[in-house]
Amino acid sequence: MADAAFWAICLVVAPLFFAISSFVRGGLAHVFGPLAAWLNALAVLGLTVSFARSGPLRYAIGGWQLPLGINFRIDGLCVLMLAMTAVTGLAVSMYALGYFSLRIGSARQMSRHEQQRLFFWPLWLLLWAGLNGLYLSSDLFNIYVTLEITGLAAVSLTALSGKPAARLAALRYLLVSLLGSCSYLLGVALLYRCYGILDMAALSRLVSPGPLLWCGLALLTAGLLLKTALFPLHFWLPPAHANALAPVSAILSGLVVKASFYLLLRLWGEVFAQVLPPAAYVLLGALGCGAVLWGAAQALLQKRLKMLIAYSTVAQLGYLFIALPLIRLDPGPAARQAVVLLILSHACAKSAMFMAAGSIFLKAGHDRIADLAGIKEVLPVSSFAFVLAGVSLMGFPPSGGFVGKWLLLGVSLAGGQWWWGMMLVTGSLLAAGYVYRVASRLLVFKAPFFSRRQAIPPVMEWSAVLLAVLAMLLGLLAGSPLELLAAGNQVFSPAGLEVLR
């Protein structure tokens, strides 16, 4: 069996290859796309198996060693993020297959929808290659390049719907993302000037407090916060996520915002954890609290279903930032496990929610929450998926969100900082509020009267419901991912660097 390095290379090369193929041979795009999704899932499976067998690994691309070369670093967190992308991406790809065939088959504007399918697959696979590369690389500048690939593909996907609102939102998204990457790049330049190296593991050994480091780190963080849409910087997210096509919304909300948060977790949780003052973590946690309150309040006020889900993303990202001061507080693995579980379960639940909302939109012809009563009579599976994903977001017991919040609550109480725990509970109550607002309309009985009576393909309904069930069961299945996470951790301890190959 091939080793982990082989699978890691496959994970970057295969999506790129299929992205180009599906662009060149547009007629076969709907064959290449799902094929790439399945192959990617296979490669992640291979990577996970060989990782579980042989442990963490560094791979020097092209044989170039550290000061000059770019390294891939395969550890527990990286494998989990890749697995999250593979599973969610596979479900979204299957959904998109049904989505585009339905719209092309039924709509009046045939040419526009055909064009959307033609461009969706190359862009989505390009984005996928960017995400995989981002999770694998250990080099800050290489991460800048993958961030840009991901960002450009995400912007183009947002604009794909062709509606004026979506195009405007895409342009705003692009400008924000430009500002974010500029700030990130300047941060990288300053760090390189300080230490002459860009590899994250090597940096974690070299860092020492100093003004240039603070400047560089502040710039890196500011850029990533813009891209992650933390509370005061979230203004671009809801219009972009709500106006995109349904599979695109699922990708943006489930996967793309996680990429920049993953980097923040690496930088704040591992690389610079020794030198950063606790006050900085408290600042990010406080902004996270703001995000939880503001996002949930806005979600409660929205009239459109997709806007509500997008604001719920703003709120849920807040939880991840609340976890950062707790990671600092807790020397053990509990807080780190919690934040990873929250990331995984939010990716599954939010993608499932957007996919179900897309089916509802297609069936009803609109997504005004007030007029959705009776939709469960015609779309029972999608309504079930929506409610199940919502319950998982609230943090109901068997879900991954519950286990994550429970661990965080334990850490905050044990460390004497109960206010973070209180914030988590308040956020869950507010989430229950906005999920109930939709669920009470969806599940109420009323004879349905809808203008468009097109049949939603089963693959669209079932891919959403499978993701929602997965998010729900993540709490029960959490043992093995957390073991993987623990297995990879020693590669970042300073002593681990010498034994790297």
State in angstroms the smallest separation of the CB of 120 from other proteins: 16
Q: Could you write out the three-class secondary structure of 65-109?
A: CCCCCCEEEECHHHHHHHHHHHHHHHHHHHHHHHHHHHHHHHCCC
CA-CA-CA-CA torsion sign (62, 63, 67, 70)? positive
Spacing of C-alpha 321 from chain mean position: 14
User: Which of 260, 41, 262, 256 has the alpha carbon at shortest distance from 156?
Assistant: 256
Which lies closer to other proteins via its Cβ, residue 163 or residue 446? 163
Q: From CA 212, how far away is CA 198, in angstroms rounded?
A: 15
Interface contacts to other proteins, rule CB under 8 A? 68, 141, 144-145, 148, 152, 155-156, 159, 162-164, 167-168, 170-172, 174-175, 178-179, 181-182, 185-186, 188-189, 192-193, 196
Q: Which is nearer to other proteins, 155 or 482 (CB)?
A: 155
Closest distance of CB 6 from other proteins, Å:
26
Q: Specify the residue, 174 or 230, whose C-beta has the smaller distance to other proteins.
A: 174
Question: Which amino acid would we find at residue 44?
Answer: V
Identity of the residue, 156 or 253, whose beta carbon is nearer to other proteins in the bound complex: 156
Judge whether 44 and 82 are in contact, CB under 8 Å. Answer: yes
Contacts of 435 (CB under 8 A, 6+ apart): 387, 390, 391, 393, 394
Q: Are 291 and 321 in contact (CB under 8 A)?
A: yes
- Separation between Cα atoms, residue 491 and residue 501, nearest integer Å: 11
166 vs 387, beta carbon nearer other proteins = 166
Comparison of 7 and 144: residue with beta carbon closer to other proteins: 144
Q: How many whole angstroms separate alpha carbon 319 and alpha carbon 291?
A: 8
Q: How far apart, in Å, are the Cα atoms of 348 and each of 129, 269, 381?
A: 19, 23, 17
Report, in Å, the least distance between residue 280 CB and other proteins. 23
Token pair of 446 as six digits: 């009323």
| Nearer to other proteins (CB atom), residue 179 or residue 443 | 179
**Rounded distance between C-alpha atoms, residue 56 and residue 148, angstroms:** 27
Q: What minimum distance in Å lies between the beta carbon of 442 and other proteins?
A: 32
Secondary structure tally for the chain: helices H, strands E: 20, 2
Backbone angles phi and psi of 67, in degrees to 5: -55, -35
Count of C-beta atoms within a 10 Å radius of residue 2:
12
Least distance in angstroms from the C-beta of 164 to other proteins? 4
253 close to 347: Cβ distance less than 8 angstroms: no
Minimum CB separation of residue 185 from other proteins in Å reads: 5
Shortest distance, position 249 Cβ to other proteins, whole Å: 18
**Three-state DSSP class for residue 325:** helix
Cβ at position 168, least distance to other proteins in Å: 6
Q: Nearer Cβ to other proteins, position 170 or 387?
A: 170
Smallest separation (angstroms) from other proteins to the CB of 139: 11
Closer residue to other proteins (CB): 225 or 394 = 225
In the complex with other proteins, which residue's Cβ is closer, 164 or 332?
A: 164
Partners of residue 72 on adjacent β-strands: 59, 137
In the complex, least distance from residue 60 CB atom to other proteins, rounded to whole angstroms:
16
Residues found in the chain: 501
